[in-house]
Amino acid sequence: MTFINTVTLKNDTNKVIRMVVSSREAAIVTQHGRPAVAIVPIDETDLILKHEKAYAKAIRQGLRDIQRKRTISLKSFAKKNLS
């Protein structure tokens, strides 16, 4: 685990983030010499599991819409919504 102060975080944010992502270890940010916050790596699995119920509900709704033929083509959607 790495400790960095707020000045380092301010000046080298991207470097700190790259370090946390590549090392897969948290960085503790100190303020006035005391731990204040942690920057921790996450992955897609963490996000999926956190929102698993919402994803499952959206998938079920999508499948129901397909069964009931309440869908449109991507071309039609683009023409209607992106023009």
Average pLDDT, the chain: 90
Distance, in Å, from the CA atom of 2 to the CA atom of 14, rounded to the nearest integer, reads 15
The hierarchical CATH code for the domain 2-39 is: 3.40.1620
Q: What is the pLDDT of residue 74?
A: 86
The pTM of this model reads 0.55
Q: Structural domain boundaries of the chain?
A: 2-39, 44-81
pLDDT interval class at 78 (50, 70, 90): confident
Render pLDDT for 34-72 as a digit per residue (tens, 0 to 9). Answer: 999 999 998 877 777 778 888 889 989 999 999 999 998
Question: Per-residue confidence at 8, pLDDT binned at 50, 70, 90?
Answer: very high
CB 26 within 8 Å of CB 1: yes
